[in-house]
Amino acid sequence: MARIFFSLSGEGRGHATRARAVVESLREEHQVSLFASGDAWRFLAPLYRDTAVKVHRIGGLRFHYNEERRLNFTRTGAEALRFLRRLPMLVGMLERQIRRGRPDLVVTDFEPALPRAARRLGVPFVSLDHQHFLLTYDLASLPPRLRLYAAYMALIVRAYYSGQAATVVSSFYFPPLRRGCRDVTQVGVMLRPEVLAARPERAGHLVAYFRRFAGDHLLAALHATGRAVRVYGLGACPPAGRLSFHAIEERRFVEDLAACDALISTAGNQLVGEALYLGKPVLALPEARNFEQYINAHFLAQSGAGAWREAEKVTSADVAGFLARLGGFRPPPDSARIHGLPATLAVLRRHLPAAAPRPTHLPRPNEAPLAAR
C-alpha cells in the first residue's frame, strides 16, 4: 500500500469530479490524502467524511465575476496577487505535511503549492489536469484569436509548476501533440463511478448546467423549447413552466444526464466529456471571457458531436436549431478514448514504488485539516 497526496484547484467542479474518479480507483489499494480549496473542498469533504480518505482544506485561487456576469479580470488578478503573497507560507505548511505523511507519490490537478513542496523535498509528482493542453497540444486548427489567447495562457500554466515526473492531459478531444513533448500522455476524461454505471436512454427531457448564473434570455430560450428542462448549477428554486431547478446531487444529476436527449451547458471539459461518453449531443455555451471554454467549444463542434453559441448571445432560434439537428450529431471518431481513467491509472502506477507489505489497519489521523489561508 502506497501513500498518495493529491492536490487540486478549487475553482468549479470539474477538478473535483476528476479527482474523485481517480481516488475511487485508488483508495482500496492505497492511502490517499486530498488537499483542496473552494468548490472542490466543499464537494469532496462531505463525500469522504469518516472514511480512510482524508480531505485537507488549503488556500487557493478564486475567480470573480462582475455585475454583468462576466469574468472580472481586475478582481481576479488582485486575488491572484494575494494568493502569490501567501504561497510561500502554504508551501511551507505542505512541506511539513509531506515530512509527517511521507507520501510515495504526489499528484496535482492544476494546484501550485503541493508540487512545489514535493519538488523541494525530492518527492516525485505527476501532473494530471486539462489545462496543460495549452502547453502540449498542437492548436494550429484554432482561429487566430484563440491561438493568441492559448499562447498567453500557456505562460501562466508553465508558471504553475515544473519538474513533474509525467504529465497527463485529460480532455475529450485529442489533437496531435506538439513536437518535442516528452513524458506526456493524452487521456480522456476521468469518469466517476455513477457515469460508468449509467445506462443511457432517451426520455425526452433536456439537462442544462450553468455555473452560478444564467441570463433571463437563456432561460427564456430553454422555456421556448416546450420540453422539460432540468436545470442544475443555479440552486434549487421553484419551477418556471417546464423548467425545474435542482441542487447538484451527484447521483440524481447523472441519472438525468444519462436519460436526457441532449445537454445544454457551459463548455467545461469534464462535463462535456461525460455527456459524449453517454452519447448525448451537446450545445456548449462558453462563459463570457472564459477563452478556455471557447477552445473546448471549438473542438466540440469540430468533432461533429455538438454545437456551440456564446452564452450571452444565444437565442431561442439557436436552441431550436440545435434540437432540430439532434439526429445529425455523431459520436467523436475517437470516442473510445473518452474513458481516460484506465490510462491515467497506468501512468500513476508506473510512478508508485513496488508493492509493499499491506498494513493490517490504516493509521488514525492525528492532526486537523489545514486551515484555509
Q: pLDDT per residue over 31-51, tens digit each?
A: 999 999 988 999 999 999 999
Task: Report the pLDDT value the prediction gives residue 335, as an integer from 0 to 100.
Answer: 77
Average pLDDT over residues 6-24: 91
Which tens digit of pLDDT belongs to each residue from 107-157?
999 999 999 999 999 999 999 999 999 999 999 999 999 999 999 999 989
Query: Bigger pLDDT: 158 or 212?
Result: 158
Q: Band the pLDDT of 80: cuts 50, 70, 90.
A: low
Task: Report the pLDDT value the prediction gives residue 367, as an integer from 0 to 100.
Answer: 40
Rounded CA separation 72/34 (Å): 29
44 CB burial (10 A radius; 0-12, 13-18, 19+): buried
DSSP assignment, residue 335?
Answer: G
Residue 345 has pLDDT above 80, yes or no: yes
Task: Report the pLDDT value the prediction gives residue 333, as an integer from 0 to 100.
Answer: 76
Q: Residue 249: which residues within 8 A CB-CB, separation 6 or more?
A: none
**Grid cell locating 333:** 471518431
Reported in sequence order, the residue ranges of 279-330 that DSSP labels E, i.e. its strands, are: 282-284, 306-308
**Grid cell locating 124:** 516525485
Q: Which of 265-274, 305-314, 329-338 has the lowest mean pLDDT?
A: 329-338
What residue type is assigned to position 318 of the chain? D
Q: Which of 43-52, 62-71, 146-155, 335-344 has the lowest mean pLDDT?
A: 62-71
Task: Report the pLDDT value the prediction gives residue 362, as an integer from 0 to 100.
Answer: 35
Q: Residue 156: which residues within 8 A CB-CB, separation 6 or more?
A: none
**Grid cell locating 74:** 481586475
Residue 221: closest CA among 320, 316, 121:
316
Query: Bigger pLDDT: 356 or 9?
Result: 9
Average pLDDT over residues 194-205: 96
Average pLDDT over residues 349-360: 66
Residue 67 has pLDDT above 70, yes or no: no
Q: Band the pLDDT of 178: cuts 50, 70, 90.
A: very high
187 CB burial (10 A radius; 0-12, 13-18, 19+): buried
Q: Band the pLDDT of 79: cuts 50, 70, 90.
A: low
Residue 190 has pLDDT above 70, yes or no: yes
3-state SS assignment for residue 183: coil
According to the per-residue pLDDT averaged within each range, which of 78-87, 167-176, 330-339, 364-373 is highest? 167-176
Rounded CA separation 167/186 (Å): 9
Task: Report the pLDDT value the prediction gives residue 85, as an integer from 0 to 100.
Answer: 83
At residue 296's C-alpha, the angle toward residues 316 and 42, to 5°, is: 90
Task: Report the pLDDT value the prediction gives residue 72, as an integer from 0 to 100.
Answer: 55
Which tens digit of pLDDT belongs to each residue from 258-274?
999 999 999 999 999 99
Q: Which residue has the cell 490510462?
A: 343
Which tens digit of pLDDT belongs to each residue from 88-105?
899 999 999 999 999 999
Residue 372 has pLDDT above 60, yes or no: no
All domains of the chain in start order, with CATH: 3-190+340-350 (3.40.50.2000), 194-333 (3.40.50.2000)
Task: Report the pLDDT value the prediction gives residue 74, as an integer from 0 to 100.
Answer: 58
Q: Band the pLDDT of 212: cuts 50, 70, 90.
A: confident
Residue 369 has pLDDT above 60, yes or no: no
